[in-house]
Structure 1
Amino acid sequence: MLSNEVLMITRVHHINFLVRDLASATKAFNTLFQQQPVYDSLHAREANTARYQLGEVIIVLVSPTSATGTVGQYLEQKGEGVFLVSFGVQNLEDFWEEYESNELVSVASAARKGLANWQVQDISLKCDLGTVLQICQEKNQ
């Protein structure tokens, strides 16, 4: 357990699936989940998304709007499928205070605004799992 006896990671916040055709993917997931998604555009990341709430976990379908953007390049290199798992934390800064001297966990990107009221930051682990890992803090609106 951590020194302050508080769990830094509280849950799996969201899982992103990379898809080429958002319309076809949402049709299949609408049937599977029996619900309609919330659609968003991430202009800075050159992607469109469809998000489903399943209990406490959010499933996000992500489709690039450009082959040259980060998401489009990832799709070209890795193909469709799970590409990101995001872990919920109470506070990004508190997380890094706890892990700043840990050799197994490190910062992989600057913190940035995600979907909805999310503040996200990519992380790196010493082991490569073949997917992007991230921490996510929901900001009060």
Structure 2
Amino acid sequence: MQFHGIHGLNIAVHDLEQWTRRFEEVFEMASKPVDESGFAFPGLRGASFDINGFHLNLIASDAESTSVSRFLERRGEGVFLVSVGVQDVDVATRELRDVGLAPVLEEPVRGEGHAGVTFTHPRDMAGVQLEFIEVPR
């Protein structure tokens, strides 16, 4: 699999506004709001910090049915997933299957700001959910 590198890190939070203010204060930079259309699944919203091409995202859930909501309930706030940039998400999805992983999604999701995204289940990667994202270069 050809990686671009680590694209970013997503942190699950209960209070998006509180943590957005805190991160903006610490990094001395404004975040970019991310609404539901910026996520592969509905019910999520966030704030994104582009730190020299590394994307640090804070994510909150407005719905109890999301994986972020379940994560917050079980583990509390913290690192939710690591995002890895790939050249071709369709190829990456096939290659994940070739190494014995079952991607969470049958087919990659296409959306705003990326050409496609797929995920591994945390149990397959030492408790860490990986996101494989194809972004325009």
| TM-score (ref. length: structure 2) | 0.82
Query: Counterpart of 1:35?
Result: 29
1:122 to 119, 122, 126: 119
- Residue 109 in structure 1 maps to residue 105 in structure 2: yes
User: Whole-Å Cα distance in 2 between the matches of residues 114 and 79 of structure 1?
Assistant: 28
Instruction: Indicate the residue corresponding to 1:82 in structure 2.
Output: 79
Alpha-carbon RMSD across the aligned residues, in angstroms, is 2.4
Aligned pair partner of 1:94 in 91, 95, 116: 91
Equivalenced residue count is 133
Match of 2:15 in 1: 21
Counterparts of 1:125 and 1:70 in 2: how far apart (Å)?
11
CA displacement at 1:37 relative to structure 2: 0.7
Aligned equivalent of 1:61? 58
**Deviations along 1:89-108, whole A, 9 cap, x unmatched?**
011123245454323x4423
Partners of 2:125 and 2:99 in 1: how far apart? 16
SS in 2 for 1:129: coil
CA displacement at 1:83 relative to structure 2: 0.6
Partner of 1:136: 133
Higher Rg: 1
1:11 aligns with 2:5: yes
Q: Once the 2 structures are TM-superposed, how far is the Cα of residue 69 of structure 1 from its aligned partner?
A: 2.9
| Cα-to-partner distance string for 1:98-136 (whole Å, 9 max, x where unaligned) | 454323x44232311355235210025885422211100
Deviates more, 1:9-18 or 1:109-118: 109-118
- Paired-residue identity, %: 22
Structure-2 change in CA distance of 1:23 and 1:118 (3 Å)? farther
**Which of the two has greater helix per residue?**
2
* Whole-Å separation in 1 of the counterparts to 2:111 and 2:78: 20
Gaps of at least 5 residues in structure 1 are: 1-6
